Amino acid sequence: MLVAPARADSTPAPPRTGFERSGGARWTTQPEEQELLARLDRDSRRVAVDRIGSTGQGRPLQLVRIGADTPPDAAQTARGSSVLLLCSQHGDEPSGRDACLSTVRDLAYTQDRATLRFLRHTSVLVVPTANPDGRAADTRGNADGTDINRDHIALRTPEARAVAAVIRDHRPDLVYDLHEYGPTAPYYVKDLLSLWPRNLNTAGPVHHEARTLSERYVRPAAGAAGFSTGIYGIWTDPVTGEPVKQVAGDGQERILRNTAGIKHSVGLLVETRTDPLTEEEQADPARNNRRRVHSQQAALAGMLDFTGERRHRIETATTAARLAGYADRGPVYLGGADNEPAAEEQILRDPPCGYRLTGAQYAEVRDELALHGVRSRPAGDGAVVPLRQPLRALVPLLLDERAAYHLAAGRPVPSC
């Protein structure tokens, strides 16, 4: 298992998070987070902390870049192996954030040979708090009340725009999204749940790696640490373990794990249970909080093991998916999921060559297209957005009027 906080005698003592100092009695505050990140940026030669945007209330959105010897730049991460952690998109789900902060600290100070060897081959990117305004208010949404995890297509929020730019510029091979959920006894009470991209536009090999990450690494790692696990969004019979009802986890393209899959990253959503179920946790909230964070940390260790062991398979899958768009072949799906076949009217079996946008339409969506990394070319007073490009399947989801969350109703261009 990777990530050991061992250090050489000549290095400064690793700082502790507010959560750790309190024994889990409280979450790390935002000033404590800023102090921690500033110290890592100063003390560790392998860490850099960048400001990648600002929230509606002016709080910083930050990206931590971690390498073996020096922080990797975008060119290095885009052409090599890299993972991106998104922590606390929902401001009232803090356990993933504290797990991310302690992981960043451990990677910054470790002298463990296996971990350093891992960092020589794989860059780690972390957005420690993806929703600072929501975290400050302890709300699911951001300052405007918007659920950021439903904004990864429209990109109306500054938080989602910052994440889109990171994915565009760094092209992470894996996007790992940390959340929490409220249980429904007795059907939905596992300590930790996970789910891969269900969107049907996720390339087959990328989808396979995402399921492998969930089923063979993240859940087993959490289980080995003593935590119960399951699949997010599926209620199960507590006796037989058979599925009872699907309550979440569809193929919506605007949800980050699905957006990541469409953009050819191995996406995974991980959720830890918020509510105490044992008498001990009910009597001691800090005990419950520690269980929430420790289950996230165990799952993160499984993710790092997955990346280290399957790096070449992952890179092969994501690279092939990005190149496949240039061939411009195959259907595009406007609906459905890997466990729910798309209706015939949701399948573009013979997609157009591209979509033509008027000048007014292009002015309205050009920034969002650029943030996604979708290419366009001038045409009259507007533009044409071709499908023949790496993000081929994303184009109809953004511009076909039949897509559920389209940004503009472009006119299909039948032939190139």
> 3-state DSSP call for residue 1?
coil
Q: DSSP string covering 90-109, please?
A: STT--HHHHHHHHHHHHHHH
Is the pLDDT at 355 greater than 60, yes or no?
A: yes
From 236, 244, 234, 241, select the one nearest 338 (Cα to Cα). Answer: 234
Cβ atoms of 397 and 262 within 8 Å: the answer is yes
Res. 4 pLDDT band, cuts 50 70 90? low
Rg (CA), the chain: 21
Cβ atoms of 199 and 110 within 8 Å: the answer is no
375: which DSSP letter?
-
Res. 3 pLDDT band, cuts 50 70 90? low
CA distances to 171, 175, 250, 261, 397 from 346, in Å: 28, 27, 15, 18, 11
Is the pLDDT at 8 greater than 50, yes or no?
A: no
What pLDDT does residue 416 have? 78
What's the residue count for the chain?
Answer: 416
Is the pLDDT at 54 greater than 80, yes or no?
A: yes
**Pairing outcome for strands 174-181 and 229-231:** unpaired
Run of H or E including 81: strand 81-87
What pLDDT does residue 11 have? 58
Residue in the structure block whose two tokens are 């191995």: 266
Q: State how far the Cα of 5 lies from the Cα of 296, in Å rounded to an integer.
A: 17
Res. 7 pLDDT band, cuts 50 70 90? very low
> 3-state DSSP call for residue 168?
helix
188: which DSSP letter?
B
Cβ atoms of 159 and 170 within 8 Å: the answer is no
Sketch out the chain's domains with CATH numbers: 18-320 (3.40.630.10), 331-413 (no CATH)
Res. 9 pLDDT band, cuts 50 70 90? very low
Q: Is the peptide bond before 276 cis (omega within 30 degrees of 0)?
A: no
Backbone angles phi, psi at 298, to 5 degrees: -65, -45
pLDDT, one tens digit per residue, over 195-211 is: 999 999 999 999 999 99
Tokens of 289: 């909080």
Beta bridge partners of 194: 231, 270
Cβ atoms of 340 and 368 within 8 Å: the answer is no
Q: State how far the Cα of 382 lies from the Cα of 416, in Å rounded to an integer.
A: 17
Cβ atoms of 66 and 124 within 8 Å: the answer is yes
What pLDDT does residue 13 have? 84
Q: What percent of the chain has pLDDT over 90?
A: 96
Cβ atoms of 313 and 195 within 8 Å: the answer is no
Task: Quote the crossing angle between the two packed helices 311-324 and 204-212, to the nearest 10°.
Answer: 150
From 95, 136, 133, select the one nearest 222 (Cα to Cα). Answer: 95
Q: How many CB atoms lie within 10 A of CB 12?
A: 11
Tokens of 335: 């609906």
SS3 of 332-366: the string is EECCCECCECCCHHHEECCCCCEEEECHHHHHHHH
Q: State how far the Cα of 84 lies from the Cα of 230, in Å rounded to an integer.
A: 23
What pLDDT does residue 415 have? 83
What pLDDT does residue 12 have? 66
